[in-house]
Structure formats: C-alpha cells, structure tokens
Amino acid sequence: MAVIHANRNHRRTLVEQMDAAEWSGDNGDMYEVTKSDEQWQAELDPLEYQVLRHAATERPGTGELLHEDRVGVYHCRACGAELFRSTTKFEAHCGWPSFYQPTESDAVELIEDRSLGMVRTEVRCRRCGSHLGHVFDDAPQTPTGDRYCMNSVSLSFEPAEPGSSAGGGSSAQDGSSAGGGAAAEAE
C-alpha cells in the first residue's frame, strides 16, 4: 500500500537525520544493539553485567586483560563490536587495561559523568551503549595524550592469527553476539 511505503521512507529520512546530528547524553533508544535488562543479565556473567550495564568498576589489578600483550583486537564483550587494537594498548600502571585511541573514533561514545563528586568522561560502546570505562587526558607519553582506562571484563580479546594483519577484517568470534535483529547494516 502506497501510504505505508511513503511512511516508511519518511521514517528512514528521520533516522538518517538523527544519525548525522550529534549524539548526546542519554540516547538509549538509538543504539544499534538494544536488549532488555533481563536479556543482558541472562547473557552476561554477574560481574560483566554489573560493569557493562550498571557502570560498576572492576577492582584494579584484577582484570585478565591487564597484562595481555599479544597482537590482536579488543571487542565489546556485550555486543562484539571492535573497539581497540593492541597497537594502541600501553602500560599505564593504573590497574586497568589502557589504550590511547579507539580503532575508530566513533566506535565509542563519550559522556560526561558527574558521579562520585568528580567530573569524568565515561566511555561507552557506541553500538550497544554498554559501559566500558573512562577516558583521561593524562598520558603525555602516548601519541594522543589520552588514556582510555577500560574494565577488562568489558572487553574480549581476539588474538591475531599468525600471518594475518593484526586481525583486521575478521569478526564474529562467536555467533551468539548481536542477536538484536536490526544489526548487521552498519558498514
């Protein structure tokens, strides 16, 4: 029916406009991957759930990826999106895995965080909105000066296969990620 068709086109135009505009603050409905709180809780283990979905922080020095130094790619543990490459990981001696730059600047979302009596910049996965950690500009020893201070449990590491170029292009380490339905269109 023509009316419905026109309506659909109109919606698409709206979405594109919103996408082009600056994403700000709480845009819970705009993530590419959205799941109910119950779904996230069922898919993630308790610590992952508390950190990724409720912005908790793992204890410093405890993360399994803290001392990971192999070549490879770091993905969002909630949705599988690529976030960081090992080439930007550095030893910040802060107790959490640290990177100076995401793979793509729009792989993450930066949000002002005024909790705990401080003004910090929260880092979330742009694809699913999960909490990753915070970014600080206190790393002058790096090319960007930034320290993306990430919770290890927010990330999953995929080592590069011998002979391949830093894992580029390969994806979907487990088929269970991103069951959100409307995924798969980006890029």
Cα distance between the two ends of the chain? 30
Active site residue 79: no
Least CB distance to Zn ion at residue 70 (A): 22
Nearer to Zn ion, 88 or 139 (CB): 88
User: For 59, which DSSP code?
Assistant: P
For 29, the token pair is: 């409905």
Buried b (16+ CB within 10 A) or exposed e, 56-75: ebbeeeebebbebeebbbbb
Nearer to Zn ion, 32 or 139 (CB): 32
Tell me if 76 contacts Zn ion by CB under 5 A. Answer: yes
Q: Following DSSP, what letter does each residue of 148-173 receive, concatenated? A: EEE-GGGEEEEEPPTTSSTT-S---S
CB 156 within 8 A of CB 150: no
Nearer to Zn ion, 111 or 125 (CB): 125
Subset of residues 44 to 73 that bind Zn ion, contact rule: CB under 5 A: none
Least CB distance to Zn ion at residue 2 (A): 38
CB 120 within 8 A of CB 134: yes
Select the residue interacting with Zn ion from 44, 65, 73, 79 (CB under 5 A): 79
Residue linked to tokens 């790619």: 73
The count of residues interacting with Zn ion (CB under 5 A) is 8
Nearer to Zn ion, 98 or 130 (CB): 130
Q: Could you give the string, one character per residue 95-134, with x where binding to Zn ion holds by CB under 5 A and - elsewhere?
A: ------------------------------x-xx-x----
* List of residues contacting Zn ion (CB under 5 A): 76, 78-79, 81, 125, 127-128, 130
